[in-house]
Structure 1
Amino acid sequence: MSYEERLRQYIRENEHLMKDLERVRELGLPQCYIAAGYIRGTVWDRLHGFSNQAAHTDIDVIFYDPEDLSEAREVQLEQGLIDQTGNDKWSVKNQARMHIRNGNPPYRSSEDAVSWWPETATAVGARLDSGNRLEIIAPYGLDDLFSLVVRRSPRFEDKAYYVSRVRSKNWQRQWPRLTILED
């Protein structure tokens, strides 16, 4: 079974994540995915034999809409999800404007935006299409994610920030089999 097939299986077997993917699909946003820690943590939990610890993490929702770059829209969407679920860990960000905050060239899509994220294992997203099929974005593939390797993404140039970030996350305390590469 390929890593992508395994990822789909892990997501489908995670009742909380599937429900959240359905909620996000209902928003009707373009190129909209649940990404980063929720997906990454779901895989790392499974590979460590843990059950659904990632359900308690932030829920990063990304979308790409160059027609409406207002932060107010993101706040409204976020609050709607919080009100609907009672979970205050939702974060909704339009990737069409995030390049400004991050000091990068304009992103061309959600997948392009994800390729600028700090770690290859974090650069992953999933969404449900209208036919309930899982679509995965992973610009660097899924090898690092499934090999439990944390490495700096090729497009993320701020090495000092990356090192500080992975140290502060202290992921190895929660997932002891991780290999953290600091160079």
Structure 2
Amino acid sequence: MKKQTLALIQADALRMDCLQAVQALALPQAMICAGFVRNLVWDAAHQFSTSTPLNDVDVAWYSSEQIDPQLDLELEFKLKQQLPNVQWQVRNQARMHHRNGVAAYASAKDAVARFPETATCLGAAMNDKNEIEWRVTAGLADAWALRLRHNAHSGLALSVTQRRIEEKNWLARWPHLRLMPQLLG
């Protein structure tokens, strides 16, 4: 699954440009995560001929010393200058536990591995050798199996996942997604 997913990313010019733009910022523990990978997998599993347009590109990074939210906005601006057609969302995960009302994250990897649904717990980055490397693959099996499952390790209420599924209209876009029993109640 990892190699197949990497091949999909490498074949997508926009995703490669995004990874290179984030790499150029040299942020600690930075990765592009969530729908950036998940949507591409779901599109492939649904045999779509074109990728679903990205609503945004989520960048997770981590520094307990640089927690001013203004810095994230400045980083978004820099990325927007490089790729103006991309809606960037940059967040230092060292402070995001406050917004999410959960225990503090120990790293960017920890934060992404605790996203609300398992299929979203995915993150990749470009390394110093210009190779894509996985930072988080916790949700890869569920993404490829088209399983929507609440992440019990997220610290978030089940209702958060249920609300996200509805608000993001995932079941209409990807009709073969399967809600796991915990989400059917």
**TM-score relative to the length of structure 2:** 0.91
Secondary structure of 1:165's partner? Answer: helix
Show the 5 A alignment for 1:6-17. Answer: 6-17=4-15
- Residue number in structure 2 paired with 1:164: 163
- Residue number in structure 2 paired with 1:145: 143
Question: Which is worse superposed, 51-60 or 29-38?
Answer: 51-60
- Residue number in structure 2 paired with 1:175: 174
Q: Alpha-carbon deviation of 1:54?
A: 3.6
Q: Alpha-carbon deviation of 1:141?
A: 4.5
Q: Alpha-carbon deviation of 1:88?
A: 5.1
Question: Cα gap change, 1:143/1:88 in structure 2, threshold over 3 Å: closer, same or farther?
Answer: closer
Show the 5 A alignment for 1:75-154. Answer: 75-87=73-85, 89-138=87-136, 140-154=138-152
- 2:158 partner amino acid: K
Give deviations 1:98-121, integer Å, cap 9, x for gaps.
Answer: 111111221111110112210000
Q: Alpha-carbon deviation of 1:51?
A: 3.8
Q: Is the 8 A contact 2:36 2:57 kept in 1?
A: yes
- Residue number in structure 2 paired with 1:64: 62
Q: Is the 8 A contact 1:126 1:137 kept in 2?
A: yes
Count matched residues: 181
Q: Is the 8 A contact 2:123 2:137 kept in 1?
A: no
Q: Is the 8 A contact 1:14 1:52 kept in 2?
A: no
Question: Which is worse superposed, 59-68 or 132-141?
Answer: 132-141
Q: Is the 8 A contact 1:116 1:153 kept in 2?
A: yes
- 1:164 partner amino acid: R
Give deviations 1:18-59, integer Å, cap 9, x for gaps.
Answer: 111000100100110110011111111111122443443210
4+ aligned runs moved over 6 Å, structure 1: none
Q: Is the 8 A contact 1:17 1:55 kept in 2?
A: no
Show the 5 A alignment for 1:11-90. Answer: 11-87=9-85, 89-90=87-88
Whole-Å separation in 2 of the counterparts to 1:6 and 1:116? 24
Question: Cα gap change, 1:40/1:70 in structure 2, threshold over 3 Å: closer, same or farther?
Answer: same
Where structure 2 has 5 or more consecutive residues not aligned to the other structure, the ranges are none
Question: Cα gap change, 1:79/1:107 in structure 2, threshold over 3 Å: closer, same or farther?
Answer: same
Whole-Å separation in 2 of the counterparts to 1:104 and 1:122? 17
Question: Cα gap change, 1:172/1:141 in structure 2, threshold over 3 Å: closer, same or farther?
Answer: closer
Secondary structure of 1:121's partner? Answer: helix
Give deviations 1:148-183, integer Å, cap 9, x for gaps.
Answer: 111000123301222122122221211111112215
Whole-Å separation in 2 of the counterparts to 1:35 and 1:25? 13
RMSD across aligned positions (CA): 1.5
Where structure 1 has 5 or more consecutive residues not aligned to the other structure, the ranges are none
